[in-house]
Amino acid sequence: MADKTGLLATANETLYQNIASLEQMVEIFSSVFELDIAAQAKDVICRLETIADTYFYETWDSSEIITSSLDLGFSELEHRARELDDSAKQLDGSINELKRIYEQSVLPQAVVMLVGSLEVYLSTVFVSCLSAKLDLSERAISSIRERYNFQNWGDSVDAFRTFLGIELCPQDVGGSKIVGLQQRRHVLVHRLGVIDERAARQLNSPSLVGKRLKIKQSEVMEGIKVVRRLAEHLTSTVET
């Protein structure tokens, strides 16, 4: 039992660390995309222009020496403001390009990593509980483990139900959510991101056949939420 408890704790720790890393990644990218560099730069430039206009209006009759010195200062300010405007536009373009890469590459990879983490977690917990329940050799345990693909929700449910008497899915989480997550991973890894008939059927979107799968940030966050809830439910069930 000590071994089972230790492996379960390790499995939970690893899964939660992976989830936390994905959440942190999404948070960092989101904070960058929330920046409106062009608008902020425009606001700064407008303020500088207002100051410059006020200066010329208020000091037109100042002494020549002072006026000349201030003129140079404000001319430099206006020059830097124009440079700021150009730099802000370039930076805004770079952020837009980063967002494109994020949507096309980073979010899909996050789904692959999340499903992979779930597979390792389910496999580890299954083997740990099976070893504690049945007095079998490592070879026999491994043989049973190899019958199931823990990236397939049906296989996972069958394995836990048949050998451990455990229902994997908590009442507040439909198995279709896990299936959808795993199906997205399948399309990304095995179909080069192009949706086939099977995937379209399981995603309840027959019109998407032949189209490229697009991953939304909200889908990644929902997937993380579902995986975390599943782990909480499984941990509670195993420890009872």
**Mean pLDDT, rounded, for 60-65:** 50
For 73-90, write each residue's pLDDT tens digit: 667 777 777 788 888 888
Inform me whether the pLDDT recorded for 188 exceeds 70: yes
Inform me whether the pLDDT recorded for 2 exceeds 60: no
The values of phi and psi at residue 213, to 5°, are -70, 130
Neighbouring C-beta atoms of residue 222, cutoff 10 Å: 14
Q: Tell me which residue of 116, 230, 211 sits closest to 168, measured CA to CA.
A: 230
Question: Please, which pLDDT band fits residue 123 given cuts at 50, 70 and 90?
Answer: very high
- Could you tell me if 121 and 16 are in contact, meaning their C-beta atoms sit under 8 angstroms apart? no
| Boundaries of every domain in the chain | 2-32+105-239
| Residue with the larger pLDDT of the pair 63 and 234 | 234
| Residue with the larger pLDDT of the pair 80 and 195 | 195
pLDDT at 229: 92
| 3-class state of residue 175 by DSSP | helix
What are the C-alpha distances in Å from 74 to residues 48, 55, 59, 63, 81?
A: 9, 9, 12, 16, 10
CA contacts within 13 A on the Cβ side of 165: 3
pLDDT at 163: 93
Give the distance, in angstroms, between the CA of residue 90 and the centroid of all CA atoms in the same chain: 26
| Residue with the larger pLDDT of the pair 204 and 183 | 183
Inform me whether the pLDDT recorded for 190 exceeds 90: no
Q: What is the pTM of this model?
A: 0.80
pLDDT at 40: 80
